[in-house]
Structure 1
Amino acid sequence: MTEQVMAAIDGSKFSEGVCDAAAWASLALGAPLTFLHVNDNHAVPEERNLSGNLRAGARERLLEELSQLDEQRAKVAQEQGRLMLQAAKERAIEDGVAEPGTRQRNGTLVETLEELQNDMRLLVIGKRGEGAEHNGDHLGSNLERVVRTLHRPILMVPDVFKTPETVMLAFDGSKTTRKGVEMLAKSPLFAGIPVQVVIVGAETGDNRSQLDWALKTLRVAGHEAEGAIRAGEVEATLRGYKEEQGIDMLVMGAYGHSRIRHLLVGSTTTEMLRRASVPILLLR
């Protein structure tokens, strides 16, 4: 199958932002768009203690009725998912995508995405799912597991998406972030969008050399690119620079050789994602 933009949607308030971001990415990349909804049929119900209180015939009738209820719930969940996918498809068409596709699967989201990742060029996913959408700044547990599991770029989206006019790349000179510079330079996703490159660290010769390389790579590719080296704690410094410059999208590696590597295996990346008010593109 052709590599495509895949967007995971559910009943949360983040689904509209996911739809709009996925449509933008699909059009910019010239890649097919597929919306995915997963019915989690692996949820473990509370153990039902039917022993002793009911006679055998009554227990059998109750078990049969409970089984029928489970089947009805599964049918309702499937129909709800179908309606969500249809609404997402219609929204993407309004955004200009000619023929968005839909897929509905049973299982867990993480396992399903892992199975489908060879079909993906980019995964678009909300900051939180419907089970966690009221938890303030908390990060959805599914998102953390997805980032740990998948080996594809992941665009995490807050509840509202707008086409980015300025992009910030968190750069530390690691292999992942150098690949990120090269990807960003040539990707049609960021064509015509000014780029800010930020290194969090001391003003050293090595950091200056790394920054100069990144800016040259971007400028040669036709980007308007500026950069900065800022000392301080990684997450707070990046967040402060984003607010100062009015950044619309953050690009960063999920792993690196400096403190930024602690993103999803420690505090920095999780904190960046948790506090995010703009989309974050995570590179692997």
Structure 2
Amino acid sequence: MTQVMACIDGSLNAAAVCDYAAWASLRLEAPLCLLHVLDHQQYPQHSDLTGTIGLGSREHLLEELAALDEQRSKLALEQGRLALEAAKQRAQRDGVGDPQLRQRHGDLAASLGELEADIRLLVIGRQGEDSSGDRQLVGSQLESVIRTLHRPILVSTEQFRAPQSVMLAYDGSATANKGVDLLASSPLFKGLPIHVVMIGADTADAWAQLKHAEQRLLEGGHQVQLAIRAGEVEPTLHAYQAEHAIDLLVMGAYGHSRIRQFLIGSTTSQLLRASNSPLLILR
């Protein structure tokens, strides 16, 4: 895991994705790679049009349509290249030395899966350029990426704001404790106060789990605040986040509690859709 990788496209989220990736690259002291993937479904490398042309049609029609598809693909690649160049200039203005640029042709989730060994942190927008524009929706490709990739994923909002505080949604699971270790040791969170929040019953066992997490974070030099709140996971987490003006929500993708049930499958969209701040998903 050597790079911070940012998914760049023509969406409204692209600038913030670039800024969050630059922020992470600088804090982690890790190289930055800017990636553009050309969707193979929209822009196939080779089109077979024989089934779309009726009997008796002239062969030159097939040739013309194939040429048009090739031209569309070339234009899309050029548009992606320009987007990458603009992102590189923006990252350099943010202080990143020499971002690497990569272009691939294929499915986004599959492409990232192939590049997984090179990824330390992935930064991606909540919506891609093919989304409907409704800010309450989450891009379908994002959900595929979350299910495919086994690396931390930072999902950005449309506006960049350098995080000044962090909230960890904690359930005492092995995944959540790995999240605690990551927050305690990663330079990404150095100097940031951390709120550790459990959703559930206020019990001695719950507090014992929280105190264990607190001790690990204190050893990492963090200021820590603990809380247990009752209620439904998504609105309760976001209410706490709003109450304390927390900039970044951190959550494990898998656990063994209501948080797990909340995040897996279609409910992933509920959390992402309702969030007005970036979300770091841990795997």
Shorter-chain TM-score above 0.5: yes
CA contact (8 A) 2:33 2:100 kept: yes
Superposition pairs of residues 1-284 of structure 1, within 5 angstroms: 3-43=2-42, 49-52=52-55, 55-56=56-57, 59-266=58-265, 268-284=267-283
Letter in 2 for 1:51: G
CA contact (8 A) 1:262 1:269 kept: no
The size of the alignment, in residue pairs, is: 279
Letter in 2 for 1:255: Y
| Structure 1 residues 183 and 193: CA distance shift in structure 2, 3 A | same
CA distance in 2, matches of 1:8, 1:63: 34
CA distance in 2, matches of 1:273, 1:73: 33
Gaps of 5+ in 1: none
Letter in 2 for 1:50: I
CA shift for structure 1 position 46? 11
Letter in 2 for 1:168: M
CA distance in 2, matches of 1:140, 1:74: 22
CA contact (8 A) 2:263 2:271 kept: no
CA shift for structure 1 position 61? 1.5
Identity fraction in percent: 55
User: SS of 2:115's equivalent?
Assistant: helix
CA distance in 1, matches of 2:53, 2:179: 57
User: SS of 1:12's equivalent?
Assistant: coil
After superposition, the CA RMSD in angstroms is: 1.6
CA distance in 2, matches of 1:30, 1:17: 19
CA shift for structure 1 position 283? 0.4
User: SS of 2:255's equivalent?
Assistant: coil
CA distance in 2, matches of 1:225, 1:133: 40
Deviations 1:186-235 (A, max 9, x none): 11001111111100011111101011111121112110110100011111
CA contact (8 A) 1:263 1:270 kept: no
Deviations 1:92-146 (A, max 9, x none): 0000000111000111101100000110000000001011150231111011010
CA contact (8 A) 1:144 1:264 kept: no
User: SS of 1:226's equivalent?
Assistant: strand
Higher mean Cα deviation, 143-152 or 132-141?
132-141
CA contact (8 A) 1:40 1:108 kept: yes
CA contact (8 A) 1:12 1:133 kept: no
| Structure 1 residues 133 and 3: CA distance shift in structure 2, 3 A | farther
Higher mean Cα deviation, 234-243 or 258-267?
258-267
CA shift for structure 1 position 268? 4.4
CA shift for structure 1 position 264? 4.0
Gaps of 5+ in 2: none
CA shift for structure 1 position 273? 1.0
TM-score normalised per structure 2:
0.95
Letter in 1 for 2:273: R
